[in-house]
Amino acid sequence: MCDRDQSQTELRAVARQLDLAVGEERLRDRLKLVWGPAVSTDPAPEAQRLRSAGATWEWAALGIVGWRFWDLHIGILPSGHPRFPFRVGLHWRACVDGLIAPVAASMRPRGTVTYSPVAEEYQHEVPASSPGSPGGPASAALSLARRVADTIPGAQPGTNATADPLFVNEGMLGWD
């Protein structure tokens, strides 16, 4: 199997762990799994910008219910590093920076905040425990998503974010 295929298989395993955990822990009213390849045709301006830049859709993410996905989510991306195959981080856009930046600054471990000009978002990466297995990045992403969801208000100001179309497709990954 080539590296890209293996990376996609490993990412799918992480996404499946996330999907199962969100369901088992009764978090579906707070968190939603979004699978990058499944939303690659999303008409949102953020998705259009990613397509135009030739960005990868090899990622999984946890959106926070009540918040527009593209404005705030927990991203899980392949890193290309053999020992630490995934990056996990809090991702947010400038429109919510005033609320989310202090949350990121108060988190432990602190991690590193960078700005992605392609995604037009801030990215606060955190270490994934047990990086060599799907459970490590999934656990890190769930822990981060819980902390964020517990800290921020339940709905993004000025939006009807509960109707985010990216959150409608339950079971979009088709685990069978």
Structural domain includes residue 43 = yes
What's the CA gap between 115 and 22, in Å, rounded?
Answer: 28
Structural domain includes residue 174 = no
Whether 104 has a pLDDT exceeding 60, the answer reads yes
- The pLDDT value recorded for residue 110 is 67
Bridge-based pairing of strands 86-92 and 72-78 is antiparallel
Continuous segment of H or E residues that includes residue 118:
none
Whether 21 has a pLDDT exceeding 60, the answer reads yes
Structural domain includes residue 87 = yes
pTM for the full predicted model: 0.85
Whether 13 has a pLDDT exceeding 70, the answer reads yes
Structural domain includes residue 170 = no
Nearest to 12 by CA among 69, 73, 65, 57: 57
Structural domain includes residue 17 = yes
Count of structural domains within the chain: 1
| pLDDT tens-digit series, residues 37-50 | 999 999 999 999 99
Structural domain includes residue 136 = yes
Which strand ranges, in their side-by-side order, compose the sheet holding 121-126?
31-35, 60-64, 72-78, 86-92, 121-126, 112-116
